[in-house]
Amino acid sequence: HIAEGSLEYRHSYMEARDVKRVGYIVISSDRGLCGGLNINLFKQTMKDAAQWSTKGAEIDFALIGTKAVTFFNSFGNGNVIAQTSGLGDKPSLKELIGSVQVMLNAYDEGKLDRLYVVYNKFVNTMIQTPAIDQLLPLPKQEAESEKSHHWDYLYEPDAKELLDTLLVRYVESQVYQGVVENVACEMAARMVAMKSATDNASDMIDDLQLVYNKARQASITQELGEIVAGAAAV
What does each of the 234 residues of the chain score in pLDDT, given as a tens digit?
565 555 666 788 988 899 999 999 999 999 989 989 999 999 999 999 999 999 999 999 999 999 999 999 998 778 999 999 998 888 998 889 999 999 999 999 999 999 999 999 999 989 999 999 999 998 876 555 555 566 666 777 777 888 888 899 999 999 999 999 999 999 999 998 888 778 888 889 989 999 999 999 999 988 888 888 887 776
According to the model, what pLDDT value does residue 141 have?
64
According to the model, what pLDDT value does residue 196 have?
78
> First and final CA of the chain: distance in angstroms?
103
Angstrom distances, CA of residue 165 to CA of 2, 37, 154, 158, 172: 14, 34, 16, 12, 11
**Is 203 part of a structural domain of the chain?**
no
According to the model, what pLDDT value does residue 228 have?
85
**Is 213 part of a structural domain of the chain?**
no
Gap between the Cα atoms of 175 and 183, Å rounded: 13
Q: How many domains, the chain? A: 1
Gap between the Cα atoms of 121 and 180, Å rounded: 10
3-state helix vs strand vs coil in the chain, percent to 5: 55, 15, 30
**Is 17 part of a structural domain of the chain?**
yes
**Is 25 part of a structural domain of the chain?**
yes
CB 22 within 8 A of CB 57: yes
Domain of 85, CATH number, reads: 3.40.1380.10
CA 67 centroid distance within chain = 10
According to the model, what pLDDT value does residue 5 have?
56
According to the model, what pLDDT value does residue 144 have?
52
CB 102 within 8 A of CB 142: no
According to the model, what pLDDT value does residue 132 have?
97
**Is 66 part of a structural domain of the chain?**
yes
**Is 206 part of a structural domain of the chain?**
no
**Is 28 part of a structural domain of the chain?**
yes
**Is 126 part of a structural domain of the chain?**
yes
The domain in which residue 20 lies consists of: 12-189
Gap between the Cα atoms of 204 and 196, Å rounded: 12
